[in-house]
Amino acid sequence: MSTRRETVRQALTGCTGFRSAQDLYADLRAGGSKIGLTTVYRALQALSDSGEVDVLRTDDGEAVYRACDSEAHHHHLVCRKCSTAVEIEGPAVEEWAAEVGARHGFTGVTHTVEVFGTCAECARS
């Protein structure tokens, strides 16, 4: 793994929520890194392609990233306020996606499901 990609991966490690490329870039630069924003985007894409980070799109279409805790297929429960994310399983969703695909003659069906709400900590605030 390249040093720059490892730098970006380490910046995501320990984050409880999803972070934008711009947020990671700002954190890295504040920490003294000379990494460029384009390099951050490239590293995030490579990490996403390899399954090391999860990516989702916010309501306004921005891609945000999080270090992946699990190699198995999973979904996320994401706080709308603080972006804290919890990895969740969804066996009913898996069955539904396979069934819908088969009913319509599709094979190799994949899906992405993200569930949004407000975490307990933000709800108390």
Q: What is the pLDDT of residue 102?
A: 95
Neighbouring C-beta atoms of residue 104, cutoff 10 Å:
8
pLDDT, one tens digit per residue, over 21-46 is 999 999 999 989 999 999 999 999 99
| Distance, CA of 55 to chain centre | 3
Do 88 and 120 share a domain, yes or no? yes
* Residue 72 pLDDT class (50, 70, 90 cuts): confident
What CATH number has the domain bearing residue 114? 3.30.1490.190
Domain ranges, residue 30: 1-68
Residue 85: beta bridge partners? 78
Q: How far is 23 from 11, CA to CA, in rounded Å?
A: 10
Q: Are the C-beta atoms of 44 and 70 separated by less than 8 Å?
A: no
How long a stretch of residues is the chain? Answer: 125
Q: What is the mean pLDDT of residues 48-55?
A: 88
Q: How far is 27 from 121, CA to CA, in rounded Å?
A: 24
Do 2 and 56 share a domain, yes or no? yes
Q: How far is 64 from 89, CA to CA, in rounded Å?
A: 20
Do 26 and 58 share a domain, yes or no? yes
DSSP 84: B
Is it the case that residue 1 has pLDDT exceeding 80? no
Do 19 and 32 share a domain, yes or no? yes
Do 54 and 87 share a domain, yes or no? no
pLDDT, one tens digit per residue, over 83-123 is 888 888 888 888 999 999 999 999 999 888 888 899 999 99
Percent of the chain as helix, strand, coil, to the nearest 5: 40, 20, 40
**pTM exceeds cut of 0.85:** no
